[in-house]
A and B are shown apart, each in its own frame.
Chain A
């Protein structure tokens, strides 16, 4: 019974929620308009030819599609903005680098990447050689049996470091909501239980892979039979991971997808070379206020100050300027 429930039903539901949820979120974001081109420029714009732009400027204030893509990639793979992190001291003139957050973030995310790549051995048949190579490189092959994977330990360390930030730094403590702690605790629980399986309570990994292989081809009766044979400790890890999958699309963890959509980063700083069209005001012949805005059934309409209105209002003064042939000269004293 438990095997069927935890080994078959739960993962199916979790995967369904994850896939549909992520797509829903992406589509949901894509459904909102981008009214303005608002990149945050972190460097010199492309301007007159004699104004030098360094390579950093190219990525911080991109002008072309490629530079923008470069900026996004640097952001995604190296967390470049966090790398600029500094800390302000009240009692000193200078600011200091404070890149701990970047370090912990990089440590966590890259460990996670390695851990995920290593887990692909449970899904892929035959196991790709690069997966084995990566595992061998990060493990002290032959020293410990079973092999000790650095990424598996580093991810726990990084999560603890990230969590300690939230617990011990007063500013971070103020900012952190229960959901922030929850996400970290959930990840900690998954990684720690994974490490426990690895080093202390062994589970039969061959059966695990068989279970997953059967789940993939919807061979449910076989999967259920296999699921019953697997050691219970495996289900602690597996269930938590399934929960994470289901939780992912509806939490802040979705920043993984959101980072692609950030208008302040994914737009080139080429406003003067290419016009951006606001989808909900594509032909702004007149300001919206002068067309009127409707709030709670009432319409508020401002009067439009076009040249004619303006001329009517200040006719005498404008005429006086016109009399001087639109030229101002110092008054003769």
Chain B
């Protein structure tokens, strides 16, 4: 039951009410600022191309299907609710496998397989061009699409040098066989791409564990362990060690985007 006094002061509470939404955020104190995170963590992935090639070749041989999906891709699709459609032109892909061959067959006629995924560039062109700041780079380096903001202009797809982004031409719900509650599904008319399994990363960080994206986990579990994920700001992490020991190649490094997916052992041992 409301008292008369309360009613009267509430007329004066106009000002207090106006800042209600602001209050919610004002009270939230960050135990760890963005700058601190930036100094502490930068996620990256290293791909051992020889192991990867070995794995895919084995699978192709086993199934006889030249378009077979290796464990990493399957895990990515399931984990992130990536829909599957028949039509290759509009089928969204977060992670996919590409076949490489050197231009000079006389030197090396062998084919290699590499996974292609979002490179989580240090200077991501997609973030530069996004109209609505829907694509953004988190302080820990992961580039994410905030689909609440995406308007589907597809400028980021044009700008991305790696073709890492997919547009939802159809309602993704139609192409889903099972659902992972941890990751939101996307709607028709927005752009999506690999997030380095940001939900897994955040959960692991909060629990103080080493984060492992789904593809990496699946690669180790079912594949040859070609993928390595970790924090390159930490010199002791596995990724740092591997990158120290090997010559790493970045895709289209000449553009200066500084991608954070590194390919090792390109062209064999």
The answer to whether A and B touch in the complex, with CB atoms under 8 Å apart, is yes
Asked if A289 is at the interface (CB within 8 A of a chain B CB), the reply is no
Q: Is B17 touching A232 in the complex (CB atoms < 8 A)?
A: no
A residues near B6, Cβ cutoff 8 Å: 232
Known A200-B17, A200-B18; contact A236-B4, beta-carbon cutoff 8 A: no
Q: Which residue from B1, B7, B20, B148 sits with its C-beta under 8 Å from A232? A: B7
Tell me the nearest residue of chain B to A225, going by C-beta.
Answer: B1
**In the complex the two chains form, what is the Cα distance from A229 to B26 in whole Å?**
28
Q: Is A228 touching B7 in the complex (CB atoms < 8 A)?
A: no
B218 to chain A, nearest CB (A): 34
Q: Is B14 touching A231 in the complex (CB atoms < 8 A)?
A: no
**In the complex the two chains form, what is the Cα distance from A236 to B17 in whole Å?**
15
Contact with A along B161-182 (1 / 0, CB 8 A): 0000000000000000000000
Asked if B31 is at the interface (CB within 8 A of a chain A CB), the reply is no
Known A200-B17, A200-B20, A201-B17; contact A232-B4, beta-carbon cutoff 8 A: no
Tell me the nearest residue of chain B to A2, going by C-beta.
Answer: B7
**In the complex the two chains form, what is the Cα distance from A26 to B102 in whole Å?**
90
B residues near A233, Cβ cutoff 8 Å: 10, 14, 17
Within 8 A of B (CB), among A21-43: none
**In the complex the two chains form, what is the Cα distance from A110 to B173 in whole Å?**
38
Asked if A3 is at the interface (CB within 8 A of a chain B CB), the reply is yes
- Where chain B touches its partner, the secondary structure class is helix
Q: Is B2 touching A196 in the complex (CB atoms < 8 A)?
A: no
Q: Is B4 touching A1 in the complex (CB atoms < 8 A)?
A: yes
Q: Is B14 touching A228 in the complex (CB atoms < 8 A)?
A: no
Q: Which residue from A1, A142, A202, A231 sits with its C-beta under 8 Å from B10? A: A231
B residues near A228, Cβ cutoff 8 Å: 1-2
Q: Is A232 touching B10 in the complex (CB atoms < 8 A)?
A: yes
Contact with B along A229-248 (1 / 0, CB 8 A): 10111011000000000000
Asked if B11 is at the interface (CB within 8 A of a chain A CB), the reply is yes
**In the complex the two chains form, what is the Cα distance from A233 to B8 in whole Å?**
10
A3 to chain B, nearest CB (A): 7
Identify the A interface with B (CB < 8 A).
1-3, 142, 196, 200-202, 228-229, 231-233, 235-236
Identify the B interface with A (CB < 8 A).
1-2, 4, 6-7, 10-11, 13-14, 17-18, 20, 148
Give 8 new A-B contacts, CB below 8 A, not counting A3-B2, A232-B11, A233-B10: A2-B7, A200-B14, A201-B13, A201-B18, A201-B20, A202-B20, A232-B2, A232-B6
Can you spell out 14 A-B residue pairs with CB atoms less than 8 angstroms apart?
Answer: A1-B4, A2-B2, A2-B4, A196-B14, A200-B18, A201-B18, A202-B20, A228-B2, A229-B2, A232-B7, A232-B10, A233-B10, A235-B7, A236-B11
